[in-house]
Amino acid sequence: MQIDETTPNAARSAASGDDRTLGALLAARGVSRRAFLKYSSYLASLLALPASMAPAMAASLAKAQRQSVIWLSFQECTGCTESLTRSLSPTLDDLIFDFISLDYHHTLQAASGHAAEEARMQAMEAHKGKYIVAVDGSVPVKDGGIYSTIAGMSNLDILEETTKDAFAVVAIGSCAAFGGLPLADPNPTGAVPVTELVTDKPVINIPGCPPIPEAMAAVLAHVLTFGILPELDSLGRPKSFYGESVHDRCYRRPFYDRGEFAESFDDEGAKKGWCLYKLGCKGPATSNACATVKWNGGTSFPIEAGHPCLGCSEPGFWDMGGFYRALSVPTGDVARIAAVAAGAGVVAGAAAGALHRATKSAARGKHHTVTVEELEEK
């Protein structure tokens, strides 16, 4: 991996003019053709492409030049980078770093200070119009964006400068895609998602806290293979990964349908692996591939570990009324509100009733006695 090397990618790449194909690079790294084909099949399946596409994909990928990627980290926690790099199956998911030339990345690059910023400028220059900007973290815009700066520049300015000549922007993680934690109420920094700032370039959202590493790899493979962006949903997410809900693909779904629920984290239901809806599971409202692709090399996913889905790949998941409150439950203090409303209603009803009674006794007081003399007149 590049991090093992002393020279930063971009600097090396730009300096050495490394234009070897991906195939050549992989061969040099000792990755067999067979292993590469297998990985291509895996990515193709993740992207919901037919199996017949895998060899073509492998061939395309092998011929492709490494994609220049500039990774901008703003208001983030590095969890997304951790997710990508600390995969349990490095030989496979690490390949992502072979697909790309990661020309700028705070956490991973060796260079620092002015040298690092220099690398970014060089990459932008060398791959003008072709490079991809990956962003993790949200962008603070309040008070001129002063709440997060790098090398004296606000995130806002860096983003604008870097995306100007980019081919596409990939917002990695829920902070970049939807604002995430920084945007959560009360959003002191005025954080906004990337899509709100970049409007003249295609933006792919790969939300999640963190996102599934395979999603990132597959999307890049798609871009490298076909030269176009994958199909996106209304929230800018690749449909192949975010097309279905966690709930619909959850192995605990039959318990939901049968009406078998864990009522607490340590009851019989929880031990039997029943549905976690009542414990606040956001699976029904969450579009993600956790239940199928799973985490840690396909080991499991949160629900399998006995914890409700937090809905981390959905916009505003921090402010959905509490992680442990069922989706159908109102977020306010409704029991108290109902009691107070009932009390107030009874008082108002009694007041109205008093008015009605007054009307009625007035009517009684004004009673007109019907007499036969009167009947004969009319």
Partner 1 sequence: MTAVDFLAFTRGPLFDVALIIFIAGLAIRFVEILVLGRRRDFSEPRRGGFGSGLRTMFSRTLPETGTMKRAPTTVVAGWVFHIGFLVTLLLFVPHIEMFQAVLGFGWPGLPTPIIDFAGILAMVAMVVVLINRLRNPVMRFLSGFGDYLPWLLTFLPLITGWLVFHRLLLPYPAMLGLHILSVELLMILFPFTKLMHTFTAFLARYYTGAAFGRKGVQS
Partner 2 sequence: MSANVERAVNAFKEQIDASTAAFFSSCVHCGLCAEACLFYLETGDPKYTPIHKLEPLRRVWWSSYTLFGRLASLIGLAPKVTDDLLKDWKELVYDSCSMCGRCSMVCPVGNDITGMIRKEREGMIAAGHAPDGLKGASSRAIKIGSPMGVTLKAVKAQIGHLEADTGMTIPVNVEGAEYLVLMSSMEIMNYPEYLEAIARIFEAAGASWTIASDAFEATNSGIQIGASDIARELVMRIVAAAERLKVKTVISPECGHAYTALRWEGPNLIGRPFPFKARHILEVLDEFRADGRLQTEGFEEDRLTFHDPCQIVRRGGVIDEPRRLIDMVAKDFVEMDDNGRYNWCCGAGGGVSAIEEAHDLKLTAFLKKKKQLDAVKPEKLMTACANCRIQLEEGMEETGMDIPVIGLTETLAEHLKTPETAKG
* List of residues contacting partner 1 (CB under 8 A): 233-235, 245, 248, 256-259, 261, 277-278, 284-285, 287, 314-317, 319-321, 326-332, 334-335, 337-338, 340-342, 344-346, 348-350, 352-354, 356-357, 360
Residue 372's SS3 state is helix
331 or 359: CB nearest partner 2? 359
Give the number of residues in contact with partner 2, rule: CB under 8 A: 21
Contact between 367 and partner 2 by CB under 8 A: the answer reads yes
* Rounded distance between C-alpha atoms, residue 298 and residue 49, angstroms: 20
Task: Retrieve residue 164's tokens.
Answer: 């100007």
User: Which span (86-94, 237-245, 323-331, 364-372) binds partner 2, by CB under 8 A?
Assistant: 364-372
Cα–Cα dist 220/40, whole Å:
12
- Residue 313 near residue 287, CB atoms below 8 Å: yes
Contact 131, 69 (CB under 8 A): yes
**Shortest Cβ distance from residue 372 to partner 2 (Å)?**
4
Q: Does residue number 355 form part of the binding site for partner 2 (CB under 8 A)? A: yes
- The strand pair at 139-140 and 149-150 is best described as unpaired
Buried b (16+ CB within 10 A) or exposed e, 304-317: beebbbbbbbbbeb
- Where in 312-351 is the site for partner 2 (CB under 8 A)? 348-349
DSSP notation for 310-350? --TTSTTGGGSS-TTS-TTS-SS-HHHHHHHHHHHHHHHHH
DSSP-assigned letter for residue 143: G
- Binding-site partner at residue 52 among partner 1, partner 2, none, CB < 5 to 8 Å by type: none
> Considering beta carbons, is residue 167 or 256 the nearer one to partner 1?
256
Nearer to partner 2, 228 or 346 (CB): 346
Stretch that binds partner 2, among 111-119, 238-246, 267-275, 353-361 (CB under 8 A): 353-361
Of 56 and 348, the one with the shorter C-beta distance to partner 1 is 348
Selected binder of partner 2 within 34, 114, 336, 378 (CB under 8 A)? 378
Q: Name which of 49 and 177 has its Cβ closer to partner 1.
A: 177
